[in-house]
């Protein structure tokens, strides 16, 4: 009887350990930055978006002893690309109010599509060989 209980307990413990070993360690996403890392300044009469300094975004999270993967400053490339490609950097600080969608425009486009009244694309030619 004691042997059966011990065997059962060992079996349950080994099953629990094997299931725990299969689970991937959970990531802590609180270290991810937000768009505030992009600085917007007025330079020479123009608003300029300044990309973040990647080293300042690096935040070493607590990791398990077995997690030896290299850590990167998440979001650095995304925010650098956004800062370099935004048309009006001031929109990052003071975004324009959304005016809403006009239902008439969307309705007429769908109606033209359903009725086969689509304007064909213009024919183009190229001079490259």
CA-CA distance, 36 to 79, in Å (whole number)? 9
pLDDT tens digits, one per residue of 103-129:
888 898 899 999 999 888 888 887 776
Amino acid 114: pLDDT: 93
- Report helix, strand or coil for 116: coil
Label residue 49 exposed, middle or buried (CB < 10 Å: 0-12, 13-18, 19+): buried
pLDDT tens track for 49-80: 999 888 777 766 666 667 766 666 677 888 89
| pLDDT single digits (tens) 21-58 | 555 556 655 655 676 788 999 999 999 999 988 877 77
Region of 75 (left: φ > 0; alpha: ψ -120 to 50; beta: rest) is left
Distance between CA atoms of 103 and 96, rounded to whole angstroms? 20
Please tell me whether the overall predicted TM-score, pTM, comes out greater than 0.85 for this model: no
């Amino acid at each position: 009887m004691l042997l059966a209980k011990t065997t059962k307990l060992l079996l349950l413990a080994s099953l629990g350990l094997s299931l725990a070993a299969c689970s991937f360690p959970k990531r802590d996403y609180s270290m991810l930055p937000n768009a505030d890392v992009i600085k917007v300044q007025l330079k020479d009469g123009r608003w300029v978006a300044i990309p973040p300094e990647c080293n300042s975004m690096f935040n070493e999270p607590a990791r398990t002893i077995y997690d030896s993967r290299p850590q990167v400053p998440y979001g650095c490339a995304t925010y650098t690309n956004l800062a370099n490609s935004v048309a009006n950097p001031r929109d990052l600080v003071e975004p324009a109010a959304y005016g809403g969608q006009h239902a008439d425009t969307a309705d007429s486009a769908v109606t033209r599509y359903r009725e086969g009244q689509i304007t064909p694309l213009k024919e183009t030619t190229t001079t490259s060989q």
